[in-house]
């Protein structure tokens, strides 16, 4: 009986391995253009400004993919990458929120400048035999140089989670990262210190 039980366990483990192995694939997840939700914000409360948008740089140290998926017991299910580039994603968000708040962003030199660094943009999964937690993380630093020459830095961190009892698909991963981006956008436009630094 003991040998039979061991045999059954081995067969079950082998079947699980085959199932997980067949699901392993690397995926690319599209992040769609950002759509501001409203203009009732700290950023919209200040007078309209003309701002020179400098580089939004990706300074992440990537020795691996932008995201990973795992099955139960840490079995790898493939890597995740995002498109367009993170520089394009955050440049789009920043431009959309500033313009929605009544400000003008331009490449031309202006007394006020805005630049940024993307420190973290990633997704991973925490797993149990029953479910996956899809966890997205963002950390962005914005640098403002005001018209009077004062420089300031502003940090925005977001962590978003979605629990699923089915496969962590590209659609669910996109949803998690969009939630993180929306949270970043809300913190950005309601940052009173950032708004004051622009005046």
Q: Can you give the pLDDT at residue 7?
A: 45
Asked if residue 39 is part of any domain, the answer here is yes
Residue 18 within a domain: no
Residue 21 confidence (pLDDT) above 70 = no
> Residue 115 belongs to a domain with what CATH number?
3.30.160.150
Using CA atoms, how far residue 133 sits from 72, 126, 176, in Å, is 11, 5, 10
What integer pLDDT is reported at residue 14 of this predicted model?
Answer: 37
Please indicate whether residue 22 or residue 156 has the higher confidence score (pLDDT).
156
Min mean pLDDT across 10-14, 72-76, 122-126, 176-180 is at 10-14
For residues 148 and 107, the answer to whether their CB atoms sit within 8 Å is no
**Predicted pLDDT of residue 145:** 96
Per the prediction, the chain carries an average pLDDT of 86
Residue 32 belongs to a domain: yes
Any domain includes 92: yes
Which residue, chain included where needed, has tokens 């622009």? 198
Measured between its terminal Cα atoms, the distance across the chain in Å is: 79
**Cα dihedral 169, 173, 174, 179 sign:** positive
Counting the structural domains of the chain, the total is 1
Q: Are strands 112-127 and 50-58 parallel, antiparallel or unpaired?
A: parallel
Position 14 in a domain = no
Structural domain span for residue 92? 26-197
Nearest 5 degrees, angle CA 157-CA 163-CA 165? 160
Distance CA 188, CA 181 (A): 10
pLDDT tens-digit map of 2-20: 554 544 433 444 334 434 4
Reference 90, options 156, 174, 181, 178; nearest CA is 181
Give domain status of residue 65, yes or no: yes
| Pairing mode of beta strands 104-106, 50-58 | parallel
Write down the pLDDT at residue 167.
83
* Helix, strand, or coil (residue 147): coil
Closest CA to 134 of 158, 161, 152: 161
* pLDDT(108) > 50: yes
Instruction: Decide if 156 is inside a domain.
Output: yes
Q: Residue range 33-41: average pLDDT?
A: 89
Q: Is there a domain that residue 110 lies in?
A: yes
Tokens representing 115 are 């630049």
Both tokens of 123, joined, read 């997704």
């Amino acid at each position: 009986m003991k040998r039979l039980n061991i045999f059954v366990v081995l067969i079950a483990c082998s079947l699980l391995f085959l199932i997980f192995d067949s699901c392993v694939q690397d995926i690319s997840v599209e992040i769609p253009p950002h759509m501001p939700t409203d203009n009732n914000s700290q950023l919209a409360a200040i007078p309209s400004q003309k701002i020179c948008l400098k580089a939004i740089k990706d300074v992440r140290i990537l020795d691996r993919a932008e995201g990973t998926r795992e099955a139960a017991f840490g079995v790898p299910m493939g890597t995740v990458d995002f498109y367009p580039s993170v520089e394009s994603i955050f440049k789009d968000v920043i431009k959309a929120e500033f313009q929605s708040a009544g400000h003008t962003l331009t490449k031309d030199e202006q007394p006020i400048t805005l630049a940024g660094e993307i420190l973290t943009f990633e997704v991973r999964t925490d797993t149990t035999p029953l479910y996956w937690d899809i966890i997205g993380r963002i950390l962005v630093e914005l640098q403002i140089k005001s018209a009077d020459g004062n420089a300031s830095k502003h940090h925005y961190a977001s962590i978003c989670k979605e629990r699923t009892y089915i496969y962590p698909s590209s659609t669910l991963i996109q949803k998690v990262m969009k939630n993180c981006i929306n949270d970043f956008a809300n913190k950005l436009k309601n940052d009173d210190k950032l708004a004051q630094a622009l005046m």
